Amino acid sequence: MRQLVLSIVLLSSFYSNVVANGVCVVNAETGTYFRLLSTHVDVVVENQVAIITASQTFKNETGSSQNYKYAFPLTEEESAIGLRWFVGGVWNEAVIEPSPQDTTLPGGGGDSNYQLEAYLGETPLFFEIEDPVANDSVVVVELSYVNLLQYENGNVYFSYPNDYSLIQSAYLDAQEISFTLNSVRSIDDLVLSSHSADSSSNDGHLAYLECSEWETPASQDFEIQYMLSLDELGLFGLSTFLPDSLVPDQGDHGFFVFVAEPDPENDTDVINKVFTLIIDRSGSMGGNKIIQARNAATFIINNLNQGDRFNIVDFSSDATEFRAGHVDFTPTNQEAAVQYIAGINAGGGTNISESFGVAIPDFAAANDSTANIIIFFTDGQATQGITETQGILNHVDQLTQTAETELMIFSFGIGEYANEQLLTILAASNNGLAEFLGNDEVEDRITAFYLRIRNPVLLNTSMSFSPDVIAEAFPSPLPSLYQGQQMIVAGRFNQASTVDITLEGEAFGQPVSYSYGLPLSDSANVSYQFLPKIWAKKKIENLLIQFYSLPEGSPEAESLRNEIITLSLNFGVITPFTSFVSNPTSFDEIADSEPGELQGFELIGNYPNPFNPSTTIMFRVESDVNRIATVKIYNALGQVVKILYTSISSPGIYEVHWDGRLENGQLAPSGSYFYLVDFGDTILGGKMTLLK
């Protein structure tokens, strides 16, 4: 049984060293934090893929030496890829280990804790830094993360959480952001909407802006928007082909990401749709949530197209509907529906199964020439009717089969108690999407979503490649496409080629296809080092959907969990099952090893360390074994740069010499490296530094 003793080290040293807004928490109950002195954000965007490097300079002004915990408000769409901190004149690198992050905070509850939770949001990153900071001393924390930026109708949006008013009212010495955009598609404009830019430029494909503020409070997020030409729709791709030494696993060496936005014919009629809105009116939806839900439903009804049909189902302990079946969108039905929505009030339990039992049979009268859509929003777990997640899923599946109509179910979970597993599987199994909203986001998010899906471009989308050099393309299955939306696909390939990509589906009751050529690179592109991480993130998202569809603790679920952890460690992408730590621990979450399995092997370390130009890795073997030990040396990005071997034939001390050269024979650059010594059933590892 294998046991991993060193977790993968992540350091985004190829990004510029800069400074932005996490929180160093000393005591959450009393609201005691290190003071944030300065914030700076560096953003590099390659065709809508953003690499953000954010650092913060903090000062301990508590009056004594303090331990602390770092927290950063990441969103669900953002993936952390590197973290390090500078204290006492030394940079320290975080590692990823195979265990969920510890979300507890120093101190207990209280009003200050609520403010902190409000600032951090639903999916924050937590990191325990074990080095205490002396009073009046400074620590710098640097976080790198990746994000696929939000796009709608040619507009792309970037936001950075710079409003620090819930945490600190004192002025910051400096707040800075730099934003660099490279785009194959023409850039019509680049705007910093939240602040005044100090400088900006745009030559159509390369744009830049920067902003600095001095001795001011951090009271406003950085909001950036750029506009891409709507005359240049189609497919745009990025690719890189890595050498053997840089591939993190045993898969294909090529990685690609493409963005597709087909251009539908201008004279095509708008597709007719059949809509049902399912509105949760249980007691927990009371207050502002039910008001927002009513406003969102009213907006949708008022923005239907001529030719659409619709109905409304609302539920708590039971379910009722606006009409006994779908009705035409007419001024009379529109007015009556708006009045019906105004009378929906919160109260009672949550009977999700009955709401679908009322809604889905109405679609039996629909046909495949229409888009048949359910928009479902709820804020809680089922308390009446069928309450088990799998039971509800089986119930919906049976209802859908009986109706004999293809449905698209779009699920919205409101607040922290929504059943994410149920809503995710409902959407994924029925050609839809699942989104999870804060209590105050219901109206804005649902109305914006409806505007996206009004006019489908491709429904039931499929994709094919020629020649057959593509593997593991995600997402799978592909989503439907609507006007103003894009499809982002990541995959791997085994040889350079120009690949013909065909996207096929249905729109307006007719089969539709779009064909594009995608050139795939034959060499490593330094600018696209993020592509393997994007691919890993997409695959992890796909595996998580499968994981949540399985019974918790089942062998199938555990197998997927282990696969997700392995991807996380290999590619350096944080997942729900992995976390940053300051000191690595054993891979017990996967191996479930018994104590003492590491007996027989001991890592002595490497000497000298730091070194220039060479070093020797030493380990002790206490067991009588006969095998080959493999030593893999990784750079700070988690990429294999050299593989060495040594034969073990008896107990003793063994040495493996590294001359400081990479697999291609070139001298390794200065920087941090780490190594894994693989004995077949045990892996030991350490860190080292090359200084020139």
Give me the pLDDT at residue 371, please: 79
CATH for 96 = 2.60.40.3680
* DSSP character at residue 117: H
Q: Enter the tokens of residue 19.
A: 């400074």
> Rounded to whole angstroms, how far apart are CA atoms 324 and 313?
10
**3-class state of residue 231 by DSSP:** coil
Q: Which residue has the tokens 């659409």?
A: 308
**3-class state of residue 452 by DSSP:** helix
> Rounded to whole angstroms, how far apart are CA atoms 61 and 32?
10
Weakest-pLDDT range from 124-138, 185-199, 511-525, 589-603: 589-603
What Å distances lie between residue 491 and 241, 252, 429, 534, CA to CA? 12, 10, 22, 9
Domain count, the chain: 4
> Rounded to whole angstroms, how far apart are CA atoms 621 and 680?
13
Instruction: Say yes or no to pLDDT of 498 above 70.
Output: yes
Could you tell me if residue 587 is inside a domain? no
Give me the pLDDT at residue 172, please: 92
Residue pair 158/179 in contact (Cβ under 8 Å)? The answer is: yes
Comparing C-alpha atoms, which of 301, 303, 281 is closest to residue 291?
A: 281
Q: Does 287 share its domain with 260?
A: no
* Chain segment 168-184, per-residue pLDDT in tens: 989 999 899 999 999 88
> Directed axis angle between helix 352-359 and helix 389-403, to 10°?
0
As beta bridge partners, residue 688 has 673
Instruction: Say yes or no to pLDDT of 123 above 70.
Output: yes
> Rounded to whole angstroms, how far apart are CA atoms 84 and 687?
14
Q: Does 439 share its domain with 523?
A: no
Give me the pLDDT at residue 34, please: 94
Give me the pLDDT at residue 241, please: 94
Torsion over CA of 293, 297, 298 and 301, rounded to 10 degrees?
180
What domain range includes position 278?
273-454
CATH for 403 = 3.40.50.410
Q: Does 154 share its domain with 216?
A: yes
Comparing C-alpha atoms, which of 446, 444, 485, 492 is closest to residue 471?
A: 492
Comparing C-alpha atoms, which of 142, 178, 177, 109 is closest to residue 17?
A: 142
Could you tell me if residue 641 is inside a domain? yes
> Rounded to whole angstroms, how far apart are CA atoms 618 and 343?
75
Could you tell me if residue 669 is inside a domain? yes
Q: Does 41 share its domain with 76?
A: yes
Confidence of residue 337 (pLDDT cuts 50, 70, 90): very high
Instruction: Say yes or no to pLDDT of 283 above 80.
Output: yes
Confidence of residue 508 (pLDDT cuts 50, 70, 90): low
CATH for 666 = 2.60.40.1930
277-312 residues labelled b (16+ CB within 10 A) or e (exposed): bbbbbbebbeeebbebbbbbbbebbeebeeebbbbb
Instruction: Say yes or no to pLDDT of 268 above 60.
Output: no
Could you tell me if residue 667 is inside a domain? yes
Provide the residue count of the chain.
692
Give me the pLDDT at residue 203, please: 94
Q: Does 128 share its domain with 218?
A: yes
Q: Does 287 share its domain with 414?
A: yes
Q: Does 449 share its domain with 384?
A: yes
Could you tell me if residue 132 is inside a domain? yes
Of 510, 535, 560, the last residue of a domain is: 535
CATH for 513 = 2.60.40
* Chain segment 578-629, per-residue pLDDT in tens: 887 765 443 333 333 332 233 467 888 888 888 888 999 988 888 777 777 8
Q: Does 426 share its domain with 474?
A: no
Question: For the residues 97-126, what does the mean pLDDT come to?
Answer: 78
Strand 150-152 and strand 90-93: the pairing is unpaired
Instruction: Say yes or no to pLDDT of 75 above 50.
Output: yes
**Cis peptide leading into residue 610 (ω within 30°):** yes
Give the 3-state secondary structure percentages of the chain, helix then strand then coil, rounded to 5: 20, 40, 40
Weakest-pLDDT range from 58-62, 473-477, 619-623: 619-623
pLDDT, greater one: 670 or 510: 670
Strand 254-261 and strand 32-33: the pairing is unpaired
Of 535, 570, 590, the last residue of a domain is: 535
As beta bridge partners, residue 685 has 676
* Chain segment 354-385, per-residue pLDDT in tens: 999 999 999 988 766 677 899 998 988 899 99
Percent of the chain with pLDDT over 90: 32
Question: For the residues 33-55, what does the mean pLDDT come to?
Answer: 89
Q: Does 261 share its domain with 339?
A: no
Could you tell me if residue 549 is inside a domain? no
CA angle 270, 272, 278 (to 5 degrees): 125
Q: Does 72 share its domain with 179?
A: yes
> Rounded to whole angstroms, how far apart are CA atoms 514 and 262?
7
* Chain segment 92-110, per-residue pLDDT in tens: 888 887 878 888 888 765 4
Q: Does 423 share its domain with 498?
A: no
Question: For the residues 39-65, what does the mean pLDDT come to?
Answer: 90
Q: Which residue has the tokens 């988690």?
A: 638
Give me the pLDDT at residue 501, please: 94
Comparing C-alpha atoms, which of 313, 415, 328, 406 is closest to residue 367?
A: 406
Could you tell me if residue 150 is inside a domain? yes
Cite the beta strand spans of 47-153 per DSSP E.
49-59, 66-72, 79-87, 90-93, 95-97, 125-133, 138-148, 150-152
Q: Does 382 share its domain with 517?
A: no
Query: What region, left, alpha or beta, does residue 384 occupy, with left being phi > 0 and alpha being psi -120 to 50 degrees?
Result: beta
What Å distances lie between residue 525 and 94, 516, 531, CA to CA? 26, 22, 10
Give me the pLDDT at residue 112, please: 55
Confidence of residue 59 (pLDDT cuts 50, 70, 90): very high
Q: Enter the tokens of residue 293.
A: 């839900």
Q: Chain centroid to CA 193: how far?
A: 25
Mean of pLDDT over the chain: 83
Could you tell me if residue 148 is inside a domain? yes
Weakest-pLDDT range from 40-49, 231-240, 266-275, 676-685: 266-275
pTM of the model: 0.59
Confidence of residue 3 (pLDDT cuts 50, 70, 90): very low
Instruction: Please enumerate in sequence order all residues whose Cβ is within 8 A of that of 75, keeping only pairs 6 or more positions apart, or say none.
Output: 121, 123, 147
* DSSP character at residue 29: T
Number of helices and strands in the chain (H, E): 10, 40
Give me the DSSP letters along 245-298.
GG-SSSS-SEEEEEEEE----TTPPPPPEEEEEEEE-SGGGTTHHHHHHHHHHH
Give me the pLDDT at residue 683, please: 65
